[in-house]
Amino acid sequence: MAHDQQTPRLFFIDNLRIALIVLVVAHHAGQAYGPVSWWYFENPDRASILGAFFTVNRSFFMSLFFMISGYFLPMSYDRKGAGDFLQDRLRRFGYPLLVFFFAVIPIMMYIYYLNFRNYGPLSFFAYYSQVYFGAGSRPSDWTGPSWPDMTLEHLWFIEHLLIFALCYALWRLIRPSRTRTDRNGERPPRYLEIFAFTLVLAAVTFVVRLWYPIGNWVAFLGFIQVAFADVPRDLGFFIIGVIAYRRNWFLNMPKKTGRVWLLLGLAAAAWCYGLNLTGHTYFSAGGLNVQSVLYDLWEALLCTGLCIGLPVLFREKLNSQGALAKNLAAGTYAVYLFHVPVVVSLQYAIRHAGIAAIAKFAIVTISAIPLTYLFCSYIRRFPLVRRII
């Protein structure tokens, strides 16, 4: 996500990343209080409206992150070359994956184990071997993730970025591409072309979800945590980001085009909230039926609309940056890594508060954002940590 030193800083992209990371924190803050199957903390009461919040979020925000990451990938490769580029990706993505896989996530899972499962006393090392790596006998009613299904949790995004970066480097070695030049005159995609892409994305997603419904996480090749139901969307927008860099779409996309697609995306999001509030369950998240076709088309329209509209909106309205925004932008990667432990700690801290689930969600969200930024600001003072995140 680094910028080329010879390229003007795209402040609107920095500001968009700040908004997205705030949404990510809020999304995970709501996991304990909305209709989800599992989370590190289980609140007895649930707020149904958070179901629409989760559905809208998961339909676009990680794909938008992938598109932004794809945009800056060619810039980094052009500046560093294959060797330094790969070394940098392995350091920035590989080290955090190892630390969380072997230390942070097992500790969080152990805390969940002690608080919500009446299995009697169990040492951390016994838990570590039984539950996390599947050695020995696992409790028969264990509902938490186990190796190799979901042991990276929210870091699946980092794992996928690393894989995409390795594939991109291989592609550049096989087929070298031109470096960035002045392309202010290149035409961005028109309405019909964008709509055609949306239809293709919906069709491919529908086919994939016949075998892999939403929420079906698997350990591909034994270690890659992946939900294939979302791969067409995430990979598609990552590729769009790479193309957008070469053709300068972030800067050349017309304001009117961005406004139209933003309105479409917001209308799709509002429809989802309306269905939730009225108790309508017409959408289906997989299967050979009309409901699945409509769901995948709705999701593709929402994602395309917001992935086009939000960058244009931020470019036109939020393309400046003060000292605070600069610091917040610099810490977005660290916040993505460490926000879940902070969120879960707050969820445990207010577990006995006699208030509604939606109120707890608001408290955890509002508290977790500044606390996570403060924590990340502190740890990034260490040179070794700063080199990675």
Cβ atoms within 10 A of the Cβ of 316, count? 12
Sequence-ordered list of residues with C-beta below 8 angstroms from that of 25, at least 6 positions apart, any chain: 335, 339, 343, 365, 368, 369, 372
Report the distance separating Cα 305 and Cα 290, nearest Å.
Answer: 22
**Buried b / exposed e along 158-171 (16+ C-beta atoms within 10 A):** bbbbbbbbeebbee
Hey, what are 1's tokens? 């996500």
The tens digit of pLDDT for each residue in 236-251 reads 999 999 999 989 999 9
Q: Has this prediction a pTM greater than 0.85? A: yes
Report the distance separating Cα 98 and Cα 95, nearest Å.
Answer: 5
Residue position matching structure tokens 């030193």: 5
Check whether 72 has a pLDDT greater than 70: yes
Report the distance separating Cα 343 and Cα 368, nearest Å.
Answer: 6
DSSP 331: T
Give me the pLDDT at residue 103, please: 83
Report the distance separating Cα 239 and Cα 220, nearest Å.
Answer: 21
Residue 206 pLDDT grade (very low, low, confident, very high; cuts 50, 70, 90): very high
Say how far residue 189 (Cα) sits from the centre of its chain: 25
- Rg from Cα positions in the chain: 21
Report the distance separating Cα 368 and Cα 351, nearest Å.
Answer: 15
Strand partners, 371: none
Report the distance separating Cα 303 and Cα 306, nearest Å.
Answer: 5
Considering all CA atoms of the chain, what is the largest pairwise distance in Å, rounded to the nearest integer? 68
Q: Is 289 helix (H, G, I), strand (E, B) or coil?
A: coil
* Mean pLDDT of the chain, nearest integer: 87
Check whether 226 has a pLDDT greater than 70: yes
- What would the 3-class secondary structure string for 55-100 be? HHHHCCHHHHHHHHHHHHHHHHHHHHHHHHHHHHHHHHHHHHHHHH
Residue 4 pLDDT grade (very low, low, confident, very high; cuts 50, 70, 90): very low
Highest mean pLDDT among 130-139, 171-180, 345-354: 345-354
The tens digit of pLDDT for each residue in 110-136 reads 777 776 655 555 566 666 666 555 544
Asked if residue 344 lies in contact with residue 144, where contact means CB atoms within 8 angstroms, the answer is: no
Q: Is 371 helix (H, G, I), strand (E, B) or coil?
A: helix
Hey, what are 335's tokens? 């916040």
Report the distance separating Cα 344 and Cα 58, nearest Å.
Answer: 20
- HSE toward the beta carbon, residue 253, CA cutoff 13 A: 23
Burial bucket for residue 238 (CB in 10 Å: 0-12, 13-18, 19+): buried
The more confidently predicted of residues 177 and 378 is 378
Hey, what are 134's tokens? 């599947």
- What would the 3-class secondary structure string for 300-314 be? HHHHHHHHHHHHHHH
Report the distance separating Cα 380 and Cα 338, nearest Å.
Answer: 12
Give me the pLDDT at residue 276, please: 85
